[in-house]
Amino acid sequence: IRERTQALHDEIIQRKNAEQEVQAALGYTRSVIEANPDLMVVLDRSGIILDVNAATETVTGISRNTLIGTPYRTYLVDDEGTNQAFEQLLVSGKTEHLIEVRGPGGNITPMSMNATVFAGKDPQDVRIIVAAHDITRQKRDEAALRAAFDEQVILLREVHHRVKNNLQIIISLTSLQMRQADDPGVKQILSETQNRVRAMSLVHEKLYRSQSLSRIDFADYTRFLATQLFSYYGMDTKRVRLEFAMGRVMVDIGTAVPLGLIMNELISNALKHAFPKGREGSLSIGCECIGDIITLSIRDTGVGMPEGFDWKNTSSLGMRLVTSLVDQVDGTITLDATNGTAFTITAKRPPETNDAGSMPLTGRG
């Protein structure tokens, strides 16, 4: 009897010790939950609040006893996405979502929420643990960054706009100078200078109107430039066809300006010299980018280069400018004079992120 009594006594002591350890563990766990600065809520599968921590009382401005037994949706800003997230949670067992919690005085607190489903032995005995972190500061910082970025975009757009306007002033000044000049040679030089300035001005105009403000579609730029030059030189499009075979090639300003000047010189040369005395033909312009190599081509079916003409060592300012600009973009230039004149230029494009690449497009102007 004594042995049984002692065994029973020992078992009771062990049980009491175990209960005390459990209570201590529960108390420690509760202390950790209460000390957590993040909102923590326990829900049943219907979304009814079973328990909350102190942070939840602070955010909502409502006591724990009042919160328990009420639907969680009562304290959120109406959001259909939140309802869908809860339904998805019951299916997948876990979810993340941004929520807005109503607080005292109509204050709204944006929060990043994570929820996990814990199922008991009974499938209906489900507990959902929700933890939500206040992201008010993050939202404020994002808004400040967005405002700063928007301001920089406006300033950069204004810079391109002013540069374009300043170049237009230069064009206007040369026009006034041309009116006062009597020498046809001087007028020709000023006219060619104007076209070069227009080519640079067009780059800034395209940048000013572009989404990125740092890159332009060079194919779109070339179409516009070629059309302008056709009009400037009074070309009859029925006699000389303007053809394009170009892909979408995005370039930055450091590449666009020299390539634009190159295209201006070569297209102008073709229009001035390739089709004399009513000669008919075509001017074909190509543009594509494979990898980091841009390839431009200007081909005409005109009279071709004069026999023995050394285009690499000419005194022509235009051709000297072309060869200099090709070197500037770390490129190459070749001439095929077997049927008219065909220049091919390659240039290395600086590496870029999120590049749109080259999408084949063809057309005729």
Question: Looking at domain 215-365, which of 1.10.3720.10, 1.10.10.410, 3.40.50.720, 3.30.565.10 is its CATH number?
Answer: 3.30.565.10
Query: What percent of the chain shows pLDDT beyond 70?
Result: 88
pLDDT tens digit string along 45-87?
A: 889 998 888 899 989 999 989 999 999 988 998 777 888 888 8
Which pLDDT score is estimated for 90?
A: 86
Under 8 Å between Cβ of 33 and 128: no
Rounded mean pLDDT, 86-99: 88
Exposed/middle/buried for residue 332 (C-beta within 10 Å: 0-12, 13-18, 19+): middle
Task: Return d(Cα 354, Cα 10) in angstroms, integer.
Answer: 73
For the record, the structure tokens of 301 come out as: 């079916």
b/e 175-189 (16+ beta carbons within 10 angstroms → b): eeebeeeeeeeebee
b/e 81-108 (16+ beta carbons within 10 angstroms → b): ebeebbeebeeeeebebebebbeeeeee
Residues 6+ apart with CB under 8 A from 198: 167, 171, 228, 264
pLDDT tens digit string along 158-189?
A: 777 788 888 888 888 888 888 888 888 888 88
> ∠ CA(218), CA(223), CA(226), 5° rounding?
115
State the CATH class of domain 38-134. Answer: alpha beta
Residues 6+ apart with CB under 8 A from 272: 233
pLDDT at 200 over 50: yes
Which pLDDT score is estimated for 365?
A: 36
Which pLDDT score is estimated for 20?
A: 64
pLDDT at 280 over 90: yes
Least confident residue range of 51-65, 207-221, 249-263: 207-221
Which pLDDT score is estimated for 353?
A: 43
pLDDT at 362 over 50: no
Task: Return d(Cα 241, Cα 283) in angstroms, integer.
Answer: 6
Higher pLDDT, 355 or 337: 337
Rounded mean pLDDT, 185-202: 85
